[in-house]
Amino acid sequence: MAVSSYLKWAALTLATAQLGAAQTYTSCNPLNATCPADTGLAKWEFNTDFTTGSSAFSKWNTTSGTVESTSLGAKFTISEQGDAPTIESDFYIFFGRVEVKMRAANGTGIISTTVMESDDLDEIDWEQISTYDYSIETDYFGKGNTTSYDRATTVNVTTPEETFHTYTVDWTSSRIEWILDGEVVRTLEYADALNGENYPQTPMRIKIGIWAGGDPDNGEGTIEWAGGETDYTAGPFSMYVESVKIINYNPASAYKYTDKTGAYTSIKATNGTTSTNLASSSSSAQAASSSSSSSSKSSASSSASASASASVSSAGWIAPYSAFATIMATLIASVFLL
Ligand SMILES: *[C@@H]1O[C@H](CO)[C@@H](O)[C@H](O)[C@H]1NC(C)=O
Ligand SMILES: *[C@@H]1O[C@H](CO)[C@@H](O)[C@H](O)[C@H]1NC(C)=O
Ligand SMILES: *[C@@H]1O[C@H](CO)[C@@H](O)[C@H](O)[C@H]1NC(C)=O
Ligand SMILES: *[C@@H]1O[C@H](CO)[C@@H](O)[C@H](O)[C@H]1NC(C)=O
Ligand SMILES: *[C@@H]1O[C@H](CO)[C@@H](O)[C@H](O)[C@H]1NC(C)=O
Ligand SMILES: *[C@@H]1O[C@H](CO)[C@@H](O)[C@H](O)[C@H]1NC(C)=O
99 counts as catalytic = no
- Residue 36's nearest CA partner among 44, 46, 26 is 26
- pLDDT of 288 strictly over 90: no
Name residue 183's beta-bridge partners: 180
Which of 16-20, 91-95, 202-206, 245-249 shows the lowest mean pLDDT across its residues?
16-20
Q: What three-state secondary structure class fits 106? A: coil
C-alpha distances (whole Å) from 93 to each of 29, 211, 296, 303 are 17, 24, 21, 16
pLDDT tens digits, one per residue of 72-127: 999 999 999 999 999 999 999 999 999 999 999 999 999 999 999 999 999 999 99
Q: Average of pLDDT values for 303-322?
A: 28
277 with 263: CB under 8 angstroms?
Answer: no
| 281 pocket-lining for ligand 2 (C-beta < 6 Å) | no
SS (H, E, C) 308-336: CEHHHHHCHHHHHHHHHHHHHHHHHHHHH
Distance CA 109, CA 235 (A): 11
Per-residue confidence at 276, pLDDT binned at 50, 70, 90? low
Q: What domains can be seen in the chain, in order of their start residue? A: 5-248 (2.60.120.200), 255-336 (no CATH)
Per-residue confidence at 333, pLDDT binned at 50, 70, 90? very low
Residue 150: the pLDDT is: 77
Q: Which segments of 108-157 are extended strands (E)?
A: 110-118, 123-129, 135-141, 153-156
Q: Average of pLDDT values for 28-46?
A: 95
Examine residue 236 and say whether the peptide bond preceding it is cis (omega within 30 degrees of 0): yes
Give me the long-range contacts of 187-196 (CB less than 8 A, separation at least 24): 188/140, 190/286, 193/140, 193/142, 194/142
Q: What is the CA(155)–ligand 5 centre distance, in A?
A: 36
Mutate to test the pocket of ligand 5, among 264, 271, 294, 295 (most ligand atoms within 8 A of CB): 271
- pLDDT of 337 strictly over 70: no
Average pLDDT over all residues of the chain: 80
- pLDDT of 20 strictly over 60: no
Residue of 106 and 286 predicted with greater confidence: 106
**Proximal ligand: closest to the CA of 237:** 2
Per-residue confidence at 314, pLDDT binned at 50, 70, 90? very low
Q: Average of pLDDT values for 211-218?
A: 96
Name residue 180's beta-bridge partners: 167, 183
Distance CA 218, CA 84 (A): 14
